[in-house]
Every structure is written in C-alpha cells, then in structure tokens.
C-alpha cells in the first residue's frame, strides 16, 4: 500500500507587482483591437461582420484588405467609420460586438492610434470567455529554475558540463539541468513530474490585459512588435491577484534530490531566495529611475509570508545567477537553450520605470 501515489494539493496565490508578459504565440488580426473614445476594446470581428448589411460588409472587407496590403491609413479611417456606424445602429448588440476592454500603457497609446496596422502579440486568454490567465507551465518553469539553482554546485560539475567552446565561440549545451540533477536526459527520469501546477485564474473578473511598448533600457528603442501583458499594481494602484494550485506527489519524498521539496514551504523559501538574489544581481546595472522604482515596489510589498518570483518573457536570468564563471579572455556570452542562462546587461523596461514579471507568491 505504501507504493500508492497520493497527491497533496496546496492553494497558492500570485500577486502581480509589475506586468507579466506571457503571450500565446499568435497576433491580433487587424480590427480585433479597436479604439472608441480613447478606450481600447477587443472586438469579435466575425459577429461584427454578420451584423453589417451587405453593402457595408463588402465595403468594410474591401477597405481592410487594401489597408493591410498598403498600410495606408485612409483605408483604416474608412473601415473605422463603418464599424462606428454599425455599433451606433445596433446598440442592443454591443455585447456581441465587444469581447472585452483592454488597457493601454501611455507609451503605446499614441503609437497605436497613429499606426493601426501595428502587429500586437496576443496574451494568454481563455477561448470561451476571453478571460486572461497565467499558464501553470509558466509558474512551474519559474519554480523549476529556482529549485535547480539550489542544487547547482559548480565545484561538483566540470566546466564543460555547462559550457562548450569551439574556436572561441560558445555553443549551446542542452543537458545542463539533467547534469545538475544527475539524471539521464530523458523525460521519464525527470523528478519534476512529481510537482504539478494548475493554470492561475484572476480573482477579480475586472482584471484585464494591457497593450504596452517594451523597451530595452540600454538602447531606448521599442521592439518592432508590441505586446500584451497582465494588469499590475504598479500601474493601477490596486492589488491584482490570481489563484491556482501546486500539487505534490507522495513519490517526491523518495527522490533523493527533491525530497525536501515535498513541503510547500521549502519550495516557497527556495523560490524567494533565488529571485531576490536574481534581482540584486541586476539592480546595480539598471538605470537609476528603474532601480529606485523597483526597489521601492519590492520593499513596500514583500511582507511576511510572501515570496518574490518572476514570471514570463524578459526574465533575464543571467549566468551570474548560477555562479557560472565566464572565460573573460574570450568574452563571449554563455547560452543554454533549456534554462535561459544568458550573459549581458540589457533589460526590458516598462515606461522606463519597471522590469516586467515581478510577482509575490504565497500559500493560502
């Protein structure tokens, strides 16, 4: 009977401090995002077209087709006029037309109004109701990185186990994690299968995603594609929380490497230590305004029972976090495709004040 696998479920809560950027790998089509009186909305284009009469439908499709191919804003204005007329003529069908409202950061507002054909990456939302969420895989990845760091001891690894050099150029290594954990590079030996994380749902149904420009602090230029991100306390002054579950298998206790992580508090402690160290490693490389804003935000919110964690894109996990020593005579970055070990000092910033993805994690 002792071999029967049991799962212990722990309810956890994520509190978003700065916007989390987790995109679905897809882009909004032209017309899906629509400004009305300064407010940005997600439009159900299929329903919108069905509501139009035949004449306006054909005109709208023609304007959109020409606008996308030429990037000529006059076609956008003509298409927008038909949309506004359709909404005005069908007030009782607004719920069919508008899927949900979105936020837009100041840095993106003017740009998106002036360049309506700009590509924007979609955030992760539920297909049934367009409600944003954070995938459990994203949280598990953040937990995994912190836990592996707690196991990593460069003294016990040959340098070639995590860095290979050829003709003074570093090449990617694909088995860093398995070497740290001393297991074969095979999914069936991966002890992290004994830890499961659910998707995280927003606690407030009013929480929404924002469209915002992401800048690289060392260059000050926006990326070519704008992106969507979750709402965050640093921008709306309200607490933004999501709830989910971390499940731990009874078989984890028998795994020598991860046995201590059969206790949820041990996971939270290791994660907190890792991401505080990770932030401290960045702090002195940041622009002064960003450094001051981030230090204040974290110190004001990191209270007893809450741990710091970083989620989503632009996480910027540097090799220094893992105490990996680079060969300075070669002066090359160290890349690892599995856990994103990467040198360098460029950091994505939002509104030139905040680093994306910082959250607080606690058990509830």
Give the integer Cα–Cα distance in Å for 160 and 176. Answer: 10
Give the integer Cα–Cα distance in Å for 352 and 357. Answer: 15
Quick one: pLDDT band at residue 140, thresholds 50, 70, 90? Answer: very high
Q: Over range 320-348, report the average pLDDT.
A: 50
Own/partner long-range contacts of 29-37 (Cβ < 8 Å, ≥24 apart): 30/64, 30/67, 30/68, 30/116, 30/117, 31/64, 31/79, 31/83, 33/102, 33/112, 33/120, 33/211, 34/80, 34/83, 35/112, 35/113, 36/84, 36/87
Residues 11 and 149 in one domain: yes
- And the tokens for 261? 């992580």
Residues 248 and 351 in one domain: yes
Q: What is the pTM of this model?
A: 0.84
Q: What is the mean pLDDT of the chain?
A: 82
Residues 74 and 196 in one domain: no
Residues 155 and 88 in one domain: no
Q: What angle do CA 126, 132, 135 make, to 5 degrees?
A: 80
Whether residue 238 lies inside any domain: the answer is: yes
Quick one: pLDDT band at residue 245, thresholds 50, 70, 90? Answer: very high
Q: Is the per-residue pLDDT at 196 higher than 80?
A: yes
Question: What percent of the chain is modeled with pLDDT above 70?
Answer: 79
Quick one: pLDDT band at residue 343, thresholds 50, 70, 90? Answer: very low
Question: Which of 97, 125, 153 corresponds to the end of one domain?
Answer: 97
More confident residue, 318 or 269: 269
Whether residue 299 lies inside any domain: the answer is: yes
Quick one: pLDDT band at residue 219, thresholds 50, 70, 90? Answer: low
Q: Is the per-residue pLDDT at 270 higher than 90?
A: yes
Whether residue 108 lies inside any domain: the answer is: no
Residues 247 and 149 in one domain: yes
Residues 55 and 166 in one domain: no
Q: Over range 35-54, report the average pLDDT.
A: 91
More confident residue, 206 or 232: 232
Map tokens 């020598």 to a residue: 256
Quick one: pLDDT band at residue 291, thresholds 50, 70, 90? Answer: very high
Residues 337 and 192 in one domain: yes
**324 CB-near residues (< 8 Å, 6+ apart):** 154, 162, 163, 334, 341
Interval 113-131: pLDDT, tens: 888 888 888 888 887 777 8
CA dihedral in degrees (155, 158, 163, 169; nearest 10)? 120
Q: Which residues pair with 251 in a beta bridge?
A: none
Whether residue 284 lies inside any domain: the answer is: yes
Residues 276 and 234 in one domain: yes
| Burial per residue of 35-64, b for 16 or more beta-carbon CB atoms within 10 angstroms, e otherwise | eeeeebbbbbbeebeebbeeebbebbeebb
Residues 312 and 196 in one domain: yes
Q: Is the per-residue pLDDT at 338 higher than 50?
A: no
Q: Is the per-residue pLDDT at 153 higher than 50?
A: yes
Q: Over range 321-326, report the average pLDDT.
A: 55
- And the tokens for 79? 């298409």
Question: Which of 72, 97, 122 corresponds to the end of one domain?
Answer: 97
Whether residue 225 lies inside any domain: the answer is: no
Q: Over range 130-141, report the average pLDDT.
A: 90
**Domains in the chain: how many in total?**
2
What is the distance, to the nearest Å, from the Cα of residue 206 to the centroid of all Cα atoms in its chain? Answer: 19
Q: Is the per-residue pLDDT at 339 higher than 60?
A: no
Whether residue 2 lies inside any domain: the answer is: no
Whether residue 292 lies inside any domain: the answer is: yes
Question: Which of 71, 97, 123 corresponds to the end of one domain?
Answer: 97
Interval 9-43: pLDDT, tens: 999 999 999 999 998 888 998 889 988 888 899 99
Residues 252 and 341 in one domain: yes
Whether residue 340 lies inside any domain: the answer is: yes
Enclosing domain of residue 70: 30-97
**92 CB-near residues (< 8 Å, 6+ apart):** none
Q: Which residues pair with 283 in a beta bridge?
A: none
Residues 283 and 152 in one domain: yes
Residues 34 and 169 in one domain: no
């Amino acid at each position: 009977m002792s071999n029967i696998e049991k799962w212990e479920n722990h309810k956890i809560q994520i509190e978003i401090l700065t916007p989390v950027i987790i995109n679905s790998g897809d882009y909004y089509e032209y017309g899906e995002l629509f400004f009305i009186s300064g407010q940005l909305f997600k439009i159900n284009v299929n329903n919108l077209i069905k509501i139009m009469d035949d004449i306006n439908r054909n005109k709208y499709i023609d304007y959109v087709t020409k606008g996308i191919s030429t990037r000529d804003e006059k076609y956008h204005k003509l298409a927008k006029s038909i949309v506004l007329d359709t909404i005005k003529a069908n007030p009782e069908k607004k719920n069919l037309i508008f899927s949900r409202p979105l936020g837009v950061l100041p840095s993106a507002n003017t740009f998106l109004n002036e360049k309506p054909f700009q590509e924007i990456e979609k955030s992760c939302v539920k297909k049934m109701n367009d409600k944003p969420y954070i995938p459990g895989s994203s949280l598990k990845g953040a937990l995994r990185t912190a836990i592996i760091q707690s196991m990593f001891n460069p003294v016990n690894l040959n340098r070639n186990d995590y860095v290979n050099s050829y003709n003074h150029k570093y090449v990617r290594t694909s088995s860093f994690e398995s070497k740290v954990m001393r297991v074969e590079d095979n999914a069936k030996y991966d002890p992290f299968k004994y830890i499961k994380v659910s998707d995280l749902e927003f606690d407030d149904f009013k929480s929404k995603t924002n469209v915002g420009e992401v800048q690289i602090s060392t260059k000050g230029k926006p990326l070519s594609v704008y992106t969507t991100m979750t709402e965050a306390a640093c921008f709306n002054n309200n607490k933004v929380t999501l709830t989910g579950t971390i499940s731990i298998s009874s078989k984890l206790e028998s795994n020598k490497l991860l046995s201590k992580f059969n206790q949820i508090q041990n996971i939270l402690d290791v994660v907190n230590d890792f991401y505080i160290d990770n932030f401290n490693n960045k702090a002195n490389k940041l622009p002064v305004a960003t450094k001051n804003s981030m230090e204040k935000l974290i110190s004001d919110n990191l209270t007893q029972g809450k741990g710091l964690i970083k989620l989503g894109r632009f996480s910027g996990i540097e090799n220094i976090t893992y105490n990996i020593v680079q060969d300075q005579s070669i002066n090359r970055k160290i890349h690892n495709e599995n856990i994103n070990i990467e040198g360098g000092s460029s950091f994505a910033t939002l509104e030139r004040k905040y680093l994306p993805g910082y959250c607080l994690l606690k058990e509830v």
